Amino acid sequence: MLEQVSTRGVLRGPVDWVFPAWIAYVEYATQRIAETFQLTEEERRQLFDFRDAMKQLLLEAWRQAKEKLASIYKAVVNNTYRIENNKLYIPDGVGMYVREGFAPHVPIYGISAETYFPDVLKLPRERLEPLQLGWRASDEGNNDGRPFMRTTQPWQVFAWTAARYGALYIRVDSVNLTREGASMEVVIKAKSWKQRWSKAEAMDLVASHLRRGEWMPLLTMWLGDGKAERSEVLSGEYKLVVAAKEPWRLGSSIGTRKALVATGKEAFERLRESAGAYGELLDLLRAHKWIEIKLATDDGFRAAYKLKARKRGNRRA
């Protein structure tokens, strides 16, 4: 489970593995957060409430996913399904979305929870806002004037939520069926915050921070939409590339949907330095993109990683 988080970010596998793996990750991450950050009793209680709410949600979603997959299987075997408008209908309704050329996904209904995530980072507003800004410029959306996030990567749940702490509304949205197994999509809305920036404003602000030598917004922007190109970093090619609808706002465009924001090992070093306490969180979360930043900037870490990769290769061979 941790290996997938630290190499790809996404958890994928058999349904009976993915959901327990998410639960195990939630337990692992909350435990490590409780050990790493100074929390009051109240904050610890909130953190463990969050853990329990997530576990409950995942258990329910697991049950529904299994039931739905079984009904879909049955409908196909008994020939009681039909496909219309990119949807596969089974006798109870929509079984899954089956748009041509895309991974099918099974919608999950009615699995949501309200919970609360404590302020574990305890950053002053002027250090927290740059983190929020970068998320907004990348993965974070706007829903009824509130920030929200949708992801299949468990580390992003914690990395984003730590920056948008407080009251949360969490929902399991769907299960994607990929060739490497199922993955699960979760949606989180931050009810304690107002969405203050449009996507374009946030991107412009990230760019202007960067021109002033402030790298923190770019860190979270890259964690969101940055291109993780581990093999290039490992072979000594250092490029900070971010996916964006309007890449010109950020610097030189590569094609229509990507911006080359910076190059060179120093750029990765600036990113790493900018993280501060947030880096401790990313460390314990084993976030794959953060690991890439460390691979780019820490020779010892990279050597150890390559050694381990070689050992793994030998074992497989």
Partner DNA sequence: GCGACATACGAGGTATGAAT
Partner DNA sequence: ATTCATACCTCGTATGTCGC
Using CB under 7 A, list all residues that contact DNA. 8, 10, 12, 85-87, 94, 99, 101-103, 105, 107, 109-110, 112, 114, 138-146, 150-153, 169, 171, 176, 178-180, 183, 185, 187, 189, 191, 199, 224-225, 227-230, 241, 243, 245, 255-258
In whole angstroms, the minimum distance from the beta carbon of 309 to DNA comes to: 13
User: In whole angstroms, how close is the CB of 247 to DNA at the nearest point?
Assistant: 8
Rounded CA-CA distance 257/247 in Å is 6
Distance of alpha carbon 201 from alpha carbon 250, whole angstroms: 11
> Residue 304 CB, nearest distance to DNA (Å)?
21
CB nearer to DNA: give 210 or 244: 244
CB of 10 to DNA, least distance (A): 5
Which residue's CB is nearer to DNA, number 248 or number 276? 248
Nearer to DNA, 176 or 274 (CB): 176
Burial of residue 44 (CB within 10 Å: 0-12, 13-18, 19+) is middle
CB of 116 to DNA, least distance (A): 12
Nearer to DNA, 190 or 284 (CB): 190
Judged by CB, which is closer to DNA: 76, or 94?
94
Q: Rounded to the nearest whole angstrom, what is the least distance from the CB of residue 37 to DNA in the complex? A: 26
Q: How far is the CB of 257 from DNA (least distance, A)?
A: 4
Q: Quote the CA–CA distance of 60 and 175 in Å, as a whole number.
A: 13
Strand-pairing partners, residue 187, are: 150, 171
Rounded least distance, CB 85 to DNA, Å = 5
Q: Which is nearer to DNA, 235 or 314 (CB)?
A: 235
Closest C-alpha to 120, from 111, 131, 135: 131
Q: Answer positive or negative: Cα dihedral of 176, 163, 130, 275.
A: negative
* Residue 227 Cβ vs DNA, minimum distance, rounded to whole Å: 4
For DNA, the closer CB: 82 or 276: 82
**Of 175, 115, 158, residue with least CA distance to 9:** 158
186 forms beta bridges with 151, 172
